[in-house]
Amino acid sequence: MADTAKPKATGKTGSRRRAARNNADSHFNGEKPEVLLDYYRQMLLIRRFEERAAQAYTQARIGGYCHLNLGEEATIVGLMEALQERDYLFTNYREHGYAIAKGTHPREVMAELYGRSTGVSKGWGGSMHLFDARTRLLGGYGIVGGQLPLAVGAALAITYRGSDEVVMCQMGDGTTNIGAFHESLNIASLWNLPVIFVVINNFTGMGTPVERSSAEPELYKRGSAYRIEGVRVDGRDVLAVRDTATTLVERARSEHRPFLLEAFSYRMKGHSVVDPAKYRTKEEAEEALANDPIAMFEERLTEAGILTDEIKKEIAESVKAEVADAADFAENSPHPEVSTLFDYTYATPVANESRRMPADPVFAE
Amino acid sequence: MPVITYRQALRDTLRAEMHRDENVFLMGEEIGVFEGSYKITEGLLKEFGERRVRDTPIAEEGFVGAAVGAAMLGLRPVVEIMTINFSLLALDQIVNHAAKIYGMFGGQNSVPMVIRTPGGGGQQLGATHSQNVELYYAFVPGLKVVAPSTPADAAALLRAAIRDDDPVLFLENLGLYNTKGEVPDEEVVGEIGRAAVVREGTDITLVGYSRMAMIATQVADRLAEEGISVEVVDLRSLRPLDRETIVNSVKKTGCAVVAEDDWLTYGIGAEIAASIQEGAFDYLDAPVRRVAMAEVPLPYAKPLENAALPSAESVTTVIYETLRAVGRRVG
């Protein structure tokens, strides 16, 4: 399969955006307006959710690290539209939007960021470790590359049982250089496992450009040593992502083999909330903002007469209310009880498990 | 009761558990066609086929992680890592993933898997193939670590490990595979987290696990001929650690020696000695001594290797010294 777009390593502000728009079909042939508006709403929800999370972080309502999906909204919505409910998803630590788009209530995601017992991981995981057994989001993972072998194993279990779910495994561009990436792709291909490895390429691993960390910076080609077909898609275009990912997901399901999908997009802000991204030039920062997938989609929808000022306002208000509700829910939820500290060390109770607190003697009276 | 080898006990148990539960399957390097580096899985590929006895590439992080992922979906993988030295390549998947998934996600998903792997020196395999790094895993909450020393315990604890819903590191030892012992015909499920007093005695407590528990019983049997009554505690489980059984024994004998195949500094014995001083301080008549490997990368040359490893002789020496310290005339 040919790549659908070719980003350059550097470029003048707006050049990539123009190229993408030329490829885009602003008339949305055959697309239902209500579906397009639903995508738009989902994207806006993730955007506003992340902005609210950043605010809560600076207000010290959220601790630890907080990596945001700002700029990746079209990719996320497109990818999740390609999955069936029964399909599994593994992600890295930049996964708030994925959880929401896979079906977790924004309240439960925000409550997890706040470390509350009503959070999707009951306050045990935090921003980097969202998990929802109900929606089959089998984890956000904080160690770069850690989720890949797990995703391969999930696909192995699917194959073992002869069922037809597919596993999607998301990662960042920097992950393509870690050993687990290569071991996992090799095993997935060798054993014919239905995994879609998705590389979110925002051209930067923390502050290091892809060209300075990857000897093959055309990341969709990184599966070629394992005979894994790779495709690149414009991650700013929700429909392109949806269509490309759907094709790969359904091929994985029917052909029982893995694929590698690279989706490029621009990071609107730093690596995490606390990163001011000073390593970026003014031009680079402006370029990122000029490639805002929501602004681009908004423009297309407006040009096509689908997004009127009235609808736009209506969606903006409902999204704002939903995010405010999520933050209120989180704020008003209880912290986990200290008495639950030892509830989740082991699934099978075991003799002599230590339940001592820091100042307790080893041998309790 | 039939007398079989440790190796046979493992193989019989794997086979029986695979017949019992369709979700149990085996993964590892060379476990199928080659039938295992140490032949634990001999005959199992022929009996169960490739779906359930899966040869993996040489990619410990990849296949151990795949086992974790398969376990997350409810299968019960039993992974063989050829030796514990190679488990270091899978450290991230074992420590950062297998051990964390249940707790980190608020108990939503357990990881019912077993990692079987042998430790042990003494085979002239050199520094990278002779280590005893079970401590790395015993250190981590969320993992369970068992280290059986007899064929009967190997069968009972492997059965328990496979049926357990948590990740269990099952420590074997190159020096134990050919040892023989009685294994009951009936199905015994061992209890993880419990030590056992395998020789009762009154003069001194000798604590060991895996190969050193076997050595400990041999030493106890020999010293009995000299009128020294050694109580042997076989830890069986390194995490959780059964401190109570150790301390109760020391309260009876008043002194203790720990025999371990790992290095002394920060080792398993250090934790046991600390536990004894806290739990039986008023009962101790002598310092707790440890017999452990010399702190070097284990050399290849036989005289050097022999000198570095703990043995029945070195354990006996330290028992004598400890008994002299409490005023006994021995040796």
pLDDT tens per residue, range B103-145: 999 999 999 999 999 999 899 999 999 999 999 999 999 999 9
ipTM above 0.95, yes or no: yes
pLDDT grade, residue A7 (50/70/90)? low
Report residue A365's pLDDT band, with 50, 70 and 90 as the boundaries: low
* pLDDT tops 70 at residue A16: no
Segment B196-200 mean pLDDT = 98
Q: Looking at beta carbons, which residues of chain B come within 8 Å of A179? A: 61
Model confidence at B149, in pLDDT bands (50, 70, 90)? Answer: very high
Q: Give the separation between CA A107 and CA A329, rounded to whole angstroms.
A: 6
Task: Check whether A10 has a pLDDT greater than 90.
Answer: no
DSSP state string for B178-200: T-EEE--SS-----TT--EEEE-
| Cα–Cα distance measured from residue B32 to residue B38, given in angstroms and rounded to the nearest whole number | 12
A151 contact B CB<8A: yes
Task: Tell me if A365 is assigned to some domain.
Answer: no
Which residues does chain A have within 8 Å of residue B191's beta carbon, measured at their own beta carbons?
A: 351
pLDDT at A334 over 50: yes
Sequence-distant (6+) residues with CB within 8 A of B263 are B132, B292, B293, B295
Average pLDDT over residues B298-307: 97
Whether A1 has its CB under 8 Å from any CB of chain B: the answer is no
Where does the pLDDT of residue A2 fall: very low under 50, low under 70, confident under 90, or very high at 90 and above? very low
Which of A133, A157, A183 lies closest to B70 in CB terms? Answer: A157
Domain B196-325 fold is Rossmann fold (3.40.50)
Among all residues of chain A, which has the CA nearest to that of B108?
A133
**Structural domains of chain A, count:** 1
Q: Which chain A positions have a beta carbon within 8 Å of B97's beta carbon? A: 141, 143, 146, 149-150
Residue in B27, B88, B104 to test binding to A, most A beta-carbons within 10 Å:
B104
Look at A343 and B107 and tell me if their CB atoms are within 8 Å. Answer: yes
Mutate to test the interface with B, among A185, A195, A343, A352 (most CBs of B within 10 A): A352
Q: Contact B278/A362, CB-based, under 8 Å?
A: yes
Tens of pLDDT, residues A132-146? 999 999 999 999 999
For residue range B254-295, what is the model confidence (pLDDT) as tens digits? 999 999 999 999 999 999 999 999 999 999 999 999 999 999
Q: Which pTM value belongs to this model?
A: 0.95
Q: Is B19 a catalytic residue?
A: no
DSSP secondary structure letter of residue B317: H
Nearest CB partner across the interface for A362, out of B68, B103, B243: B243
> Is A129 in contact with B103 (Cβ distance < 8 A)?
no
Closest chain A residue by Cα to residue B94: A146
Least reliable range by pLDDT among A265-274, B66-75, B242-251: A265-274
Please check whether residue A249 is in contact with residue A196, taking contact to mean a CB–CB distance below 8 angstroms.
Answer: yes
With beta carbons under 8 A apart, name residues in chain A contacting B68. Answer: 149-150, 153
Residue B331's pLDDT band (cuts 50, 70, 90):
confident
Active site residue B60: yes
In the stretch 73-112 of chain A, residues with CB closer than 8 A to chain B read 88
* Helix extents (H) in chain B: 6-20, 44-48, 60-72, 91, 101-104, 134-138, 151-163, 211-224, 243-253, 268-279, 302-308, 312-325
Cα distances (angstroms) measured from residue B144 to each of A181, A346, B14, B158: 28, 9, 19, 12
State how far residue A152 is from chain B, nearest Cα, in angstroms: 5
- With respect to residue A100, please indicate whether it lies within any of the assigned structural domains: yes
User: Residue A21 has what pLDDT?
Assistant: 45
What architecture is the B3-182 domain classified under in CATH? Answer: 3-Layer(aba) Sandwich (3.40)
First to last CA, chain A: 69
CA distance B48 to A6: 49
Contacts of A187 in chain B (CB under 8 A): 56-57, 59, 62-63, 66
Per-residue pLDDT at A5 exceeds 80: no
- Across the interface, whether the CB atoms of B63 and A187 are under 8 A apart is answered yes
User: How large is the average pLDDT for residues A92-119?
Assistant: 98
Residue A354 lies in a domain: no
CB–CB of A121 and B106 under 8 A? Answer: yes
| Mean model confidence pLDDT for chain B | 97
Spatial CB neighbours of A106, under 8 Å, sequence gap ≥ 6: A45, A49, A100, A322, A323, A325, A326
Same topology, domains B3-182 and B196-325? Answer is yes
* Structure confidence at residue A29 (pLDDT): 85
With vertex at residue A263, the alpha carbon angle to CA B100 and CA A239, rounded to the nearest 5 degrees, is 115
Tell me which chain A residues have a C-beta less than 8 angstroms from the C-beta of B115: none
Which among B96, B101, B108 has the least Cβ separation from residue A143?
Answer: B96
The residue segments making up the domain with residue A179 are: 15-206+218-335
**Catalytic residue chosen out of the listed positions B29, B97, B129, B134:** B129
| Residues in chain A closer than 8 A to B162 (CB atoms) | none
Residue B142 and residue A125: Cβ atoms within 8 Å? no
Distance between CA atoms of residues A95 and A76, nearest Å: 9
| Residue of A122, A146, A155 lying closest to B106 (CB–CB) | A122
Model confidence at A18, pLDDT cuts 50, 70, 90, reads very low
Q: CATH number of the domain at A68, please.
A: 3.40.50.970
Confidence of residue A14 (pLDDT cuts 50, 70, 90): very low
Nearest CA in chain A to B275: A362
Residues 289..348 of A with a Cβ closer than 8 Å to B: which? 343-348
From the list A121, A150, A343, which residue is nearest B65 (CB)?
A150
pLDDT digits (tens, 9 = 90+) for A55-99: 999 999 999 999 999 999 999 999 999 999 999 999 999 999 999
pLDDT of residue A24: 46
Which of A7, A18, A76, A4 has the alpha carbon at shortest distance from A217?
A7
The string of pLDDT tens digits covering residues B220-242 is: 999 999 999 999 999 999 999 99
CB proximity A358 to B under 8 Å: no
pLDDT at residue B18 is higher than 50: yes
Q: Which residues of chain B have a CB within 8 Å of the CB of A348? A: 110, 164-166
Q: Which residues of B touch A143 (CB under 8 A)?
A: 92, 96-97
Q: Hey, are the CB atoms on B106 and A155 less than 8 Å from each other?
A: no
Provide the pLDDT for residue A130: 98
DSSP A15: H
CB contact under 8 A, A131 and B105: yes
Full strand arrangement of the beta sheet holding A230-234: A137-140, A88-91, A167-172, A195-201, A259-264, A230-234
Which one has a higher pLDDT value, B168 or A288? B168
Q: Where are the domains of chain B?
A: 3-182, 196-325
Asked if the bond preceding A361 is cis, omega within 30° of 0, the reply is no
Instruction: Give me the mean pLDDT over the A21-50 stretch.
Output: 85
Q: Are B254 and B283 within 8 A, CB to CB?
A: yes
A113 within domain boundaries: yes
**Quick check: A256 contacting B, CB < 8 Å?**
no
Q: Which of B29, B60, B231, B305 is catalytic?
A: B60
